[in-house]
Structure 1
Amino acid sequence: MQMQPVKVNGIPIPEADILNEIDHHKEASDPWDMAISTLILRRLLLEEALRLELSAQSEEDLFTLLLQHEVTLPTLNEEECLRHYEQNINYFKVGTAADTDHILFQTTARLDQDALHKKAQQVLDKVLAEPARFGEFARKYSNCPSSEDGGFLGTLQKGQTVPEFEEVIFRAKVGQIHPALVETRFGFHIIRVQQRVEGELLAYEVVADRIREGLKEVNQNTAWRQYIQHLIKEAHIEGFDYESYLDENVFLS
């Protein structure tokens, strides 16, 4: 629990508000910190909306209006979309799937990340030295429920996992331990692809709209994140290290 009151620009966030907010983040690795981070960001966005004299029917609409008012998004052109298609051909194959094992070292805001990374690297070295013991190591070290099955995640298809993880499982050598740790928002992963089925490439015309929307979302999230980081930098926050817990989608939750 918090050791000192959390204040945003000198105004404390009541502990009762934090306790109420926790109910919305029960699935988070650290519900307490997630609740605080959400309330801090909400306070900053409300202050900015008030300063700009913006109004809307709901808080969510108000935040969207604020971001539209304050953030300018770059304009996409067809050349950029086509270049993205050509540089990411493997992402536009249907039917591609990979039977995947992993060992997860889960991160939380309260853990020493350097120490966790060091431990994960030590286990990776052991697995690389004795790949036949992968399942044993998964059951011993992994923080994922899949540890009970020796780290087996099942057959994963495109879009079923986070981008950093997906990028590896669809290019890693089949039957071998991936030689480097893979970091995602969940933590550090040791990965092995048991087998992979290559899919059929979709024509650019079929996926052009999807690419356009995807790049638009990436640009939007990047711009919004930069704006939020600006608000945090300009604010005076006491009792919480918000920078270490920043998530560009918190304001949408």
Structure 2
Amino acid sequence: MNALFPDLVVNGETVPSARIAAETQNHDGPQGKPGVAWRKAANALAVRTLLLQEARKRGIDARVQEVGPGQFETEEEALVRGLLEQAVRVARPTDAAVRAEWERDPLRFRSPPLWEVSHILVACDPRDAEARDAAQARATDLTGQALGNPKGFPALAASASDCGSKSSGGSLGQLSPGDTVPEFEAVLRGLTDGAITAEPVLTRHGWHIIKMDALAEGAVLPFASVRDKIADAMEKTSWAKAAKSFVETLAADAEITGADLRTPVRYAQVP
């Protein structure tokens, strides 16, 4: 035990430091301040330990379930799930509550957009710093040419792109959410009709100059078609709040050292 990495003890049960150290990989923190990730990991394991203690106290008997193809819960995960299924229950939101949520801003509920896109790719391996920088310089020059002559984008793509779409002037056709890598799609969501990216966009494939040839915003969906989706989201939010309250109740009655479940970790609190 030391001031930076104190022992974690929950109701007399000591959590091994090795387990906290392993958990830190799941938590971020500023460079040079390892105590931040450690404190977050300790808090997470304190919660997990409280839940496991409560599950055993209640005699929870939960069978391990498959959570994905060939992937199964651990016994501890099954116990926590079984406890929460028993202890945390929320009512399905009423139709009136769901409609009120929809009426608050119907524009939030749209069908997926449709993007007609062209691009110029300057291929590189982003992990190779030298190649990445060289490709960025070339992509920056091509961006300037594209912005200076938007109508010439197809010809520029045909002569300069490293993508097979160069044969069709850089056209990728019509795209919907999920059709491209996330970093490319994130840019599409911010482009207006006819716009060209002001700076090259880096993805796992290299640098892109992207042109939005046409944009079709998704239509606002009627209440009947989104009612169940809204209800599911509202129920999930209510369940999360109830689960948080349940954990807070357990923590209030527990004796815990080496973690603080009352307040969020602040960088300034940890050396």
Aligned equivalents of 1:202, 1:28: Cα separation in 2: 41
Equivalent residue, structure 1, for 2:223 = 204
Aligned equivalents of 2:29, 2:251: Cα separation in 1: 22
Aligned equivalents of 1:224, 1:52: Cα separation in 2: 17
Aligned equivalents of 1:26, 1:73: Cα separation in 2: 29
SS at match of 1:12: strand
Whichever of the two has the greater Rg, that structure is 2
Q: Measured at CA, do residues 67 and 209 of structure 1 come closer, stay the same or move farther in structure 2, by a change above 3 Å?
A: same
CA contact (8 A) 2:60 2:83 kept: yes
Deviation at 1:19, TM superposition (A): 1.3
Q: Which amino acid aligns with 1:12?
A: T
Q: Which amino acid aligns with 2:233?
A: G
Equivalent residue, structure 1, for 2:107 = 90
CA deviation profile, 1:68-105 (whole Å, cap 9, x unmatched): 21123123221111111111223113467xxxxxxxxx
Aligned equivalents of 1:33, 1:13: Cα separation in 2: 13
1:81 aligns with 2:81: no
5+ residue gaps, structure 2, are 31-35, 64-74, 114-185, 191-215, 266-271
Taking only the aligned residue pairs, the percentage that are identical comes to: 25
Aligned equivalents of 2:42, 2:188: Cα separation in 1: 36
Q: Map residues 199-238 of structure 1 onto 2, 5 A cutoff.
A: 200-238=219-257
CA contact (8 A) 2:29 2:37 kept: yes
Deviation at 1:208, TM superposition (A): 1.1
CA deviation profile, 1:181-207 (whole Å, cap 9, x unmatched): xxxxxxxxxxxxxxxx97531111111
Aligned equivalents of 2:10, 2:254: Cα separation in 1: 7
Equivalent residue, structure 1, for 2:202 = none
Deviation at 1:9, TM superposition (A): 1.4
Deviates more, 1:62-71 or 1:219-228: 62-71
Equivalent residue, structure 2, for 1:21 = 23
CA contact (8 A) 1:37 1:245 kept: no
SS at match of 1:235: coil
SS at match of 1:18: helix
Equivalent residue, structure 2, for 1:6 = 8
1:44 aligns with 2:40: no
CA contact (8 A) 1:5 1:12 kept: yes
What is the alpha-carbon root mean square deviation over aligned residues?
2.8
Aligned residues: 152
